[in-house]
Amino acid sequence: MSPLPYPAFKPCPCGSRKKYAGCCAPCLSGETPAETPEALMRSRYAAYVLQDAAYLLATWHPCTRPAELRLGHTGWLGLTVRRTEGDTVSFTARYQEGGQRQSLRERSTFVQEGGRWLYLDGVEG
């Protein structure tokens, strides 16, 4: 599935309060890799919003990456970063699925390889 278009002048879907062009767009386009674990986590959230499976797979560590990724009909409603500490980022992502509003609380771990941050895994909580 190809990513959904998103206007560069709009606020970034990651909730950073920056315009998309100056926030996650350079990461998603491949122009600039994420500089920190939090920046990668935010860009990956934006990729979920925009249904950019290719970016999600490219930023997933090979030892935990699924063979394919099917992005469903989840309506992403917002992201709150609760804490960033070293290579871990704790966040809450709000979404709507099947008419039900829900939230995902996760602590994600990232690793840096070859100068790039990659998503390794996450645990709920």
State the pLDDT at residue 2. 57
State the pLDDT at residue 4. 72
Domain annotation covers residue 89: yes
The rounded distance, in Å, linking the Cα atoms of 59 and 88 is 15
Q: Put the strands of the sheet holding 75-85 in their side by side order.
A: 75-85, 88-97, 100-113, 116-124
Domain annotation covers residue 118: yes
Domain annotation covers residue 108: yes
Domain annotation covers residue 7: no
Domain annotation covers residue 80: yes
Domain limits for position 48: 20-124
Exposure on the CB side of residue 83, measured as CA atoms within 13 A? 9
The rounded distance, in Å, linking the Cα atoms of 113 and 7 is 31
Longest dimension (CA), the chain: 42
Strands (E), 1-125: 75-85, 88-97, 100-113, 116-124
> Tens-of-pLDDT digits for all 125 residues of the chain?
557 788 999 999 999 999 999 999 999 999 999 999 999 999 999 999 999 999 999 999 999 999 999 888 789 999 999 999 999 999 999 999 888 999 999 999 999 999 999 999 999 97
State the pLDDT at residue 27. 97
Domain annotation covers residue 13: no
State the pLDDT at residue 125. 78
CATH number, domain containing residue 32? 3.10.450.50
Q: How many domains does the chain have?
A: 1
Domain annotation covers residue 15: no
Q: Indicate the helix (H) or strand (E) that contains 55.
A: helix 53-58
CA-to-CA separations, 21 to 24, 37, 49, in angstroms, rounded: 7, 19, 15
Domain annotation covers residue 91: yes
